[in-house]
Amino acid sequence: MKLSAARLSFMFSFLRRPFSHSADRSLIGFIGLGAMGGPMATNLVRNSRRVLLYDKDMDKAQQLAKQLNMEVAENVQEVATRAKFVVTMLPESSHVEQVYLDKQNGLLEAAQSRSLFIDCSTIDVSTSRNVAKTAIDLGRQIDFLDAPVSGGVPGAEKGTLTFMVGGTEDGFRRAENILRCMGKNIVHCGPAGNGQVAKMANNLALAISMAGVCEAMNLGAKQGMDPRILAKVMNTSTARCWSSDTYNPVPGVMENVPASREYENGFRTELLLKDIGLAMRAAKELNIKLLLGEHVASLYENMRKQGYAKKDFSGLYRYVYNGPSVSEIISKNK
């Protein structure tokens, strides 16, 4: 019996894939254990999920695994061959391309049929759509969802993140219970890439609103007003927004936010600049003007150049506007 060229090609592509036992349907792979990924993986375990960890920093993976009695994979391919469900949380588009599309060591190359991949990274739309198309073209009924998040490190730690999900309806239904272990609001935004579109627009607005709150709070503080009172007014009036009522940038107004700990352990300015950059590149491709976005980008770039790239973005209040803390205002008014 003669075999067609297409049939032979399929057979050889199957043989090139690494042999493995059937993936464990109760196991969730998690790749990328940074400031966001670590707490997200932890919340999966807290919700009685079995998790297989991987990070290029093996020490980091081993430390987290030891704390929560999880397993650590030796490489990306092991994650794909052992787990039907895989979550990734990676820094850049290039990292997502490498982890998913590498012909020798990528997730898609090793994935079994009906695998579900949920990428929570914030990357450009075209990369997400390209990975989703590649998954479909493999012909193994693999679902790839782009599911970037909002809520920052506090949301990751508390399990209250918002997930903006792009992909198929079936993929979204399969992913929803997993995402609810890590987040509070799970929104299907449409086809592949639309999660990134939503995240891009959200973070552009976030950057602008935070700059507005910093500017307004500084104006009030420099005139001697107690920032706590000003924040109360704003939070019960028309200026109310997340940057003011949940993540206030003035030291002393709120506890358990980056402003109360020297702007450490938050949403790093360099990462916000990355997100604004994604929005600006998309706008350029569409011939759309981002007048406020361009100005706010220059403010955060100024903060980065001063050496505060790794400080929380709400540090704009202190490092660009030179805004005083609550204690400084009170001392001055005595």
Task: Tell me how far apart the alpha carbons of residues 192 and 172 are, in angstroms, rounded to a whole number.
Answer: 11
pLDDT digits (tens, 9 = 90+) for 128-170: 999 999 999 999 999 999 999 998 888 999 999 999 999 999 9
Task: Tell me how far apart the alpha carbons of residues 305 and 302 are, in angstroms, rounded to a whole number.
Answer: 5
pLDDT digits (tens, 9 = 90+) for 265-296: 889 999 999 999 999 999 999 999 999 999 99
Average pLDDT over residues 41-54: 97
Which residue from 138, 91, 155, 81 is spatially nearest to 119, judged by alpha carbons?
A: 91
84: annotated active-site residue? no
Q: Is the pLDDT of residue 89 over 70?
A: yes
Report the half-sphere exposure of 152 (CA within 13 A, side-chain side).
21
The mean of the pLDDT values for the chain is 92
Extract the tokens encoding 36. 């966001």
Average pLDDT over residues 200-227: 97
Average pLDDT over residues 180-204: 97
Phi first, then psi, for residue 325 (nearest 5°) are -85, 170
Which residue from 79, 89, 7, 9 is spatially nearest to 43, judged by alpha carbons?
A: 89
pLDDT at residue number 153? 86
pLDDT at residue number 332? 86
Phi first, then psi, for residue 250 (nearest 5°) are -95, 125
Q: Is the pLDDT of residue 14 over 90?
A: no
Phi first, then psi, for residue 196 (nearest 5°) are -70, -35
pLDDT at residue number 170? 96
Per the residue annotation, which of 103, 199, 222, 232 is the catalytic one?
Answer: 199
Which residue from 184, 219, 200, 239 is spatially nearest to 317, judged by alpha carbons?
A: 219
- Are 110 and 18 a contacting pair, CB within 8 Å? yes
pLDDT at residue number 55? 97
